Structure 1
């Protein structure tokens, strides 16, 4: 067959033993596209998680460093007077800051995950619509 006939036949249903087989290339293309979208969504979620872990590591390192400095200062102050009580308010403020930063990281993870699932869901809905179109063509004979 010539090229023109081949390209015309690839778009039309194929007859095999009296059974009409529709062109399923659209489904194959859509599934490949879905796989690419899912891969991108997983990569985005993974990058978001890596960013969160890095931010948490930095936050905890800063927290520990600040806590050590503050404790050293409080102990020095307490040694000056026998009845002096160390001021631990800076430690409390530091820990509150840590909690706030970790909460922001959790929000980032939630947002990243939601975006990934939305992308996958949209892609799957498009695939199902394409499959439905092919099924309708198949059931109508072309």
Structure 2
């Protein structure tokens, strides 16, 4: 299977959101935007206010409610995790990985952070370098 086939397979069961719909969805209970971009991309381009930062390599561990390494928001498998990466490709594969561990409401943002900024949605410059987030720490501390 090629990466394009893998991506198409991953997206076939995701209810992907455009940036405006993702932004509006954050008003819903148990819905969170999760920024999976690496630190250097967030420092360079900015961050989404209110997004939870969990870099891709920690994602399943932090969002699985049965994991000892889960974040405080990961209280049950019905949480709607809306993932965002730089261009909307890695986030699709990551959302698929979350589906595979039972987090079936997970999805991603079409076009990623590029589309988010093109839509004129809010972006903040990070105040300081990222500090690794540990289980039990507040939602505004990056992972």
Structure-1-length-normalised TM-score: 0.19
Q: RCO greater where, 1 or 2, for CA within 8 Å and sep 6 or more?
A: 1
Structure-2-length-normalised TM-score: 0.19
Q: Max radius of gyration: which structure?
A: 1
Give the number of the structure whose residues are more often strand, by fraction: 2
Give the number of the structure whose residues are more often helix, by fraction: 1
